[in-house]
Amino acid sequence: MTARYLIGRLGFFIAIVWATATLNFAIPRLAPGDPIEDTVARLTVAGQSTEGADKLIAAYRAELGLDDPLVVQYFSYLKAIFTLDLGYSAALFPVRVSTLISDALPWSIGLLTLSTLLAFVIGSLLGALMVWPKTPRVARLALSPFMILSAVPYYLLAIILSFVVAFKLNLLPPTGGTSPGITPAWTFESIVDIVKHATLPALSIILSAIGFWMLGMRGMMVTTVGSDHMLLAEAKGLRPRTLFWRHGIRTAILPQITALTLALGEVVSGAVLVEVIFGYPGIGGLFYQAIRSNDFPLIQGISIVLAISIAFAILVLDLLYPLIDPRISYRRR
Amino acid sequence: MTTPAADRRTRVAGLLPGLRLLTVRPTLVLGLAFLLLPLVAAAILRHRLGAGAIELGAYPFNLRPSDAHVLGTDGYGRDVLAMLAYGLWPTLQVGLVAGATASAIGTFLGLLSGYARGWVDWLVRGLADVLLGIPVLPILVVVAAFLGSVSVASLGIVIGLVAWPFTTRVIRAQVLSLRDAPYIEIARLSGARRSGILVFELLPNLLPYVMAGFVGAVSGAILASVGLQILGLGSFGLPTLGLMLDSAYQGGALSRGLWWWFVPPAGLLVLIFVGLFLISLAVDEFANPRLRKRAT
């Protein structure tokens, strides 16, 4: 991989984070009025405690320099983002936004990475199998419903699963990350509890996402299976399994990975809603709380963190891509 | 030399495959049925039940489904069936407005970027890629949180403004592959204006992709707007399916077993999404002939 490619990808990463930060900066200020006074006013109207209101306003004025010209504000905002200083939470003053986010982040990362990875791997495999001529028709028919399921957004599945499995059948806990009274620790009992609570949220994501990846992979495999290099490989007399894995999947998986980078934003957004429905203490749950309590600094902080995480994940995938696709490195010679 | 009349006929003929699509593909018909039948039913129900049925406290709270209220009443005393009937169209409207906006911008920029190449292409692509990287939901949340109550049209346009990059990518890719085709070459050599080439030669051949992009955009927009509404934002002052889910969740419908409050809107939403999905499958098959069922 060349330095040029690396710099290009890094450039994108920075551009995306900058664009999100700028949007987060601009939107509240487009609304008329002072953003902080506005926040406090909304909190008051909503009947929430504004005890620290004066201190809050004073702290923000000092930090944001709301009396400075817009340009100065903008640059000090960018600098704050750069140092990951996301300010104070308005509703839970004086807790800082970064504290809240760093508490919630591990839950979400665990849930999301696992669910997405599982769905991607299983979905791609199933999608490839659906196109492969050697798969029995029965299996293909059995797998089709998954693709229909992909149309259903995660949160709808979450509601249905939550109602059916948790409330009606009482098989798994309906909300929360852990049962009350159990603190997350590395004990067996604690881990089992966490897994039980994470199962339904994970399933909501996995069941819908599998169909999505199946469809994509199916499309890629159709093109690959009909291509000339597959014909040659078959003519060479290679075993079906070799054909499937080394020639079929390896070729088709590349655009799938590109699709993964494009879909990441959507996946994370969907996961946010799933967490809300299950009261899962991840970023999604925090986000919902922030919205309910009109905690604008927290809302903005989470947006930035989400943007950075997604952009970073895309960066990692983009950097992995040339390693998987030999054509790119050959061309460089 | 062809006469202007024959010329026009040839152009129109290019559009006919789109019409034939309707009769040939069962997935398309099924998908359209999933969308149109509820709309028709909703219109009839609105006429029969009247706007009074969705006012707060119109009926006793939380009634189970019965003969008087086929789907019961919700926690605010509104008839659930009436809520469905009144909420369906605004939910779809947002999708349509957003889809139209995203398709219009996306097709325009895709055509421009794919055909012009050079710095225009670089600029549009860069913009599209960056926009694709920005997570949509948080941005929409920030916008919705600060704007408060919005209208259907403005929410649709806002969503469309963040959704156009997908369409642009697809259109651009197609334009890139088409722009060196012989008939484009001939048009160029015969002195046709660039805008003329774009509109009359390229666009008709792009219609399948524009349609596919439109359906995708509508689906994504409804997804986003319902997601916003479940979070409690993006309200129009009208009932929508997403808001029904939100109020059901807030009212503890899940734990109180008031299934008729949230199962109907969830079910209707599933129907809509599956319908849109089937339509997009059909349009995708139309655009990408390799996906069509081979004679086995």
Give me the interface pTM, i.e. the ipTM: 0.74
Cβ(A273)–Cβ(A158) below 8 Å:
yes
Q: Strand locations in B239-289, DSSP E?
A: none
Q: Which of the four pLDDT bands, split at 50, 70 and 90, describes residue B105?
A: very high
Of A220-234, B155-169, B267-281, which gets the smallest average pLDDT?
A220-234
pLDDT at A64 over 60: no
Q: Write the burial class of residue B241 (CB in 10 Å: 0-12 exposed, 13-18 middle, 19+ buried).
A: buried
pLDDT at B1 over 60: no
> What residues of B are in contact with residue A300 (Cβ under 8 Å)?
142
Distance from CA of A236 to the nearest CA of B (A): 25
Cβ(A159)–Cβ(B262) below 8 Å:
yes
Residue ranges in A162-249 assigned as alpha helix (H): 188-225, 228-235, 240-242
CA B255 to chain centre: 33
- pLDDT at residue A31, as a whole number: 58
Cβ(B59)–Cβ(B69) below 8 Å:
yes
Is the CB of A311 less than 8 angstroms away from the CB of B262?
A: no
pLDDT at A333 over 50: no
Q: Which of B130, B145, B254 sits opposite A296 (nearest CB)?
A: B145
Is the CB of A23 less than 8 angstroms away from the CB of B142?
A: yes
Is the CB of A28 less than 8 angstroms away from the CB of B134?
A: no
Q: Is B91 in a helix, a strand, or coil?
A: helix
Upstream peptide bond of A94 is cis (omega within 30 degrees of 0): yes
- pLDDT at residue A332, as a whole number: 45
* Helix-then-strand count for chain A, H and E: 14, 0
Using CA atoms, how far apart are residues B133 and A65, in angstroms rounded to an integer? 30
Mark A179-206 as b/e (b = at least 16 C-beta within 10 Å). Answer: eeebeeeeeeeeeebbeebbbbbbbbbb
pLDDT at B186 over 60: yes
Q: Strand locations in B93-238, DSSP E?
A: none
Span A294-319, average pLDDT = 81
> What residues of B are in contact with residue A310 (Cβ under 8 Å)?
133, 135
| Residue listed under structure tokens 């991989």 | A1
> What residues of A are in contact with residue B136 (Cβ under 8 Å)?
265-266, 269
Is the CB of B135 less than 8 angstroms away from the CB of A12?
A: no
Nearest-Cα residue of chain A relative to residue B135: A265
Residue-wise pLDDT for A235-262, tens only, equals 888 887 777 777 778 888 888 888 887 7
Tell which wins on pLDDT, A181 or B137: B137
Residue ranges in A226-295 assigned as alpha helix (H): 228-235, 240-242, 250-278, 283-292
Q: Is B79 in a helix, a strand, or coil?
A: strand
pLDDT at B39 over 60: yes
Is the CB of B138 less than 8 angstroms away from the CB of A306?
A: yes
Q: Which of B134, B141, B262 sits opposite A19 (nearest CB)?
A: B134
Tell which wins on pLDDT, B218 or B12: B218
- pLDDT at residue A259, as a whole number: 81
Is the CB of B129 less than 8 angstroms away from the CB of A291?
A: no
Residues 6+ apart with CB under 8 A from B112: B120, B124, B198
Mutate one of A9, A29, A155, A225 to test the B interface: name it (highest B CB count within 10 A). A155
Distance from CA of B70 to the nearest CA of A (A): 21
Q: Is B130 in a helix, a strand, or coil?
A: helix
pLDDT at A27 over 70: yes
Distance from CA of A141 to the nearest CA of B (A): 14
Of A5-19, A106-120, A176-190, B167-181, which gets the smallest average pLDDT?
A176-190
> What residues of B are in contact with residue A20 (Cβ under 8 Å)?
134-135, 138-139
Residue-wise pLDDT for B59-91, tens only, equals 788 777 777 777 888 778 788 888 888 888 888
- How is A123-143 classified by DSSP, letter by letter? HHHHHHHHH-TTS-HHHHHHH
pLDDT at A285 over 80: yes
Is the CB of B273 less than 8 angstroms away from the CB of A299?
A: no
Span B9-35, average pLDDT = 67
Q: Which of A109, A110, A26 is nearest to A73 (CA)?
A: A26
| Whole-number average pLDDT of chain A | 77
Span B189-217, average pLDDT = 80
- pLDDT at residue B296, as a whole number: 31
Span B279-293, average pLDDT = 69
Residue-wise pLDDT for B209-241, tens only, equals 888 888 888 988 888 888 888 887 777 777 888
